[in-house]
Amino acid sequence: MSEATVQRDQPAGVPPLALTGERTMPDVPAENYWYRRHLAVYEWVAARCAGLDVVDMACGEGYGTEVLARRARSVTGVDANPEAHEHARLKYSRPGVTFVRDLIESYKAECDAVVFLQTIEHVERPDDVLRHFRSMLRPGGAAYVSTPNLLTLAPPGAPKSDNPWHLREYRVEEFRKLCASVFESFELYGLFHARKLRVHELALRAGWDRVHAALGVTKPFYDRFTPAIAASDFALRTDRLERALDFVAVLRNPG
């Protein structure tokens, strides 16, 4: 196993996790882009969960549960993977935070918000999963569900990317249809590059790939650039959703 795919500098007594491609994690410098891309959405959701009881489904390593706990009244992180569960329990447990090892389909607890980020593309029956989340929500509660845009992952014309963990990837209208099949009231947002990632995106369009390759600076440039990416280098908005990196749905239970 390459050291580049294993978490660095974990607290004493916390076993580091290795990347498998199924989930992203902090403390792996080469993974920083994907971690910050996920973190940006967790922080956006956390700001909307102040004082609430929250369930973080498929919480993985647990970093998102910790982010939510900074604002929420209580957070329960749920994950079926035994290594991820043990890691999260040891690393992030504190008053107001609980980690439960269970399947997303079977865990149930009344709550104000369900958070389910970058995972619905992994499940066989996403409509049933959304119905399960709705059954957990108190009146006026909301489920926050994100998923990658198929058009940013898959080759043109392909039904999905080559990610073996993804069972289905969505275009914006497909994701909208799924949300509407279970929730009457919802909002859709898109995650986009901002700040230095937007500058980098424009530079790529202008031919930066050819320049750094010709100059022989590819590795030193990205060795510095990738670890410097922050959550603030992403932004959520509601326009041009077909071009978004990820879709984020806010699915509302009637009050």
Over the stretch 31-89, which tens digit does the pLDDT of each residue have? 999 999 999 999 999 999 999 999 999 999 999 999 999 999 999 999 999 999 999 99
pLDDT at 138 over 90: yes
Q: Which two tokens stand for residue 5?
A: 């795919």
Q: Which residue has the higher pLDDT, 161 or 119?
A: 119
pLDDT value of position 153: 85
pLDDT band, very low/low/confident/very high, at 2 (cuts 50, 70, 90): low
Tell me the per-residue pLDDT of 183-242, one tens digit each, with 9 for 90 and over.
999 999 999 999 999 999 888 888 888 878 777 888 888 889 899 999 999 999 999 999
What is the extent of the structural domain holding 53?
27-192+234-252
- What CATH number is attached to the domain comprising 52? 3.40.50.150
Report the C-alpha dihedral over residues 234, 238, 242, 246, rounded to 10 degrees: 40
Burial environment of residue 38 by CB neighbours within 10 A (0 to 12, 13 to 18, 19 or more): buried
Q: Is this model's pTM higher than 0.75 or not? A: yes
Query: Does the residue 115 lie in any domain?
Result: yes
- Measure the CA–CA gap between 67 and 75, rounded to whole angstroms: 10
Please report whether residue 160 resides in a domain.
Answer: yes
What pLDDT was estimated at residue 125? 96
Structural domains of the chain, count: 1
For 94-106, what is the mean pLDDT? 96
Query: Is 248 a member of any domain?
Result: yes
57 domain-assigned: yes
- For the segment 117-141, the average pLDDT, to the nearest whole number, is 97
Residue type, 31: E
% of residues, the chain, pLDDT over 90? 78
- β-bridge pairing 185-193 and 234-237: antiparallel
- The secondary structure of 47-58, three-state, reads CCCCCCEEEEEC
Residue ranges of E strands in the chain: 53-57, 74-79, 97-101, 111-117, 137-148, 185-193, 234-237, 246-252
pLDDT of res. 217? 80
Compute φ and ψ for 111, nearest 5 degrees.
-155, 170
pLDDT of residue 1: 43
Tokens representing 68? 């939510």
Mean pLDDT of the chain: 93
157 pLDDT higher than 90: no
